[in-house]
Amino acid sequence: MSEEFELDTADLQRRMDGAMANLRTEFASLRTGRASASMLEPVQVDAYGSMTPINQVGTVNVPEPRMVTINVWDKGLVGKVEKAIRESGLGINPQLNGTIIMLPIPELNEERRRDLTKVAGQYAEHARVAIRNVRRDGMDQIKKAKADGMSEDDQKLWESEVQEMTDGYIKKVDSALETKQEEIMQV
């Protein structure tokens, strides 16, 4: 009655990889006391009637370890870019120099470092939840196949494979979090 069930593990793995990639992007946006162009990636500017990433309204450079500069292409957007940076929660005070916005990166104090490690922990938890949601989808597919006549042994085999995959990705998230927190706390 039942045709051979084949769980699309490649799809589950691709989706879990997506959660990891998203986590890496979020981690890159966290300041660690060093200047990085990627810290501006989540900042959106209200340009030409839509929210636009900063790197699409100007050139982002890191001329020195504690300075990020943005050369805004359209003079009319300089104020909007400055406002977006101020409201982004990065804790950086932009300085204007014509169409160039300079962002001096201050040393992180102990309290700010602790806050950033908490934010990193929240990002990691979001990634874990996303991975668990993928696991749930896989388990639901297995349960449906069981209802369609899959044997109990096959069900347990597939469930253990999905669980092993999930555990591996959760370990990757925990490892990435630990690394990021050490990087943030490093003086």
Confidence of residue 122 (pLDDT cuts 50, 70, 90): very high
Q: What is the mean pLDDT of residues 50-65?
A: 88
Q: What is the pLDDT of residues 141-183, one digit of tens each?
A: 999 988 888 888 989 999 999 999 999 999 999 999 999 998 8
pLDDT at position 123 over 80: yes
At residue 2, does pLDDT exceed 50?
no
pLDDT band at 1 (very low <50, low <70, confident <90, very high): very low
Query: Hey, where are the domains in the chain?
Result: 9-27+109-185, 34-104
Query: Is-contact 165 158, C-beta < 8 A?
Result: no
Domain 9-27+109-185 shares a fold with domain 34-104: no
Q: Which CATH number fits domain 34-104: 3.30.1360.40, 1.10.8.10, 3.30.70.360, 3.90.1300.10?
A: 3.30.1360.40
pLDDT band at residue 187 using 50, 70 and 90 as cut-offs: low
Helix axes 152-185, 9-28, angle to 10 degrees: 10
pTM: 0.69
Distance CA 53, CA 82 (A): 13
- Which is more confident, 4 or 113? 113
Does 35 score more than 80 pLDDT?
A: no
Rounded Cα–Cα distance for residues 72 and 144 (Å):
54
Reading the block at residue 76, the tokens are 């009319």
CATH fold of 9-27+109-185 reads Topoisomerase I; Chain A, domain 4 (1.10.132)
How does residue 32 score in pLDDT terms, banded at 50, 70 and 90?
Answer: low
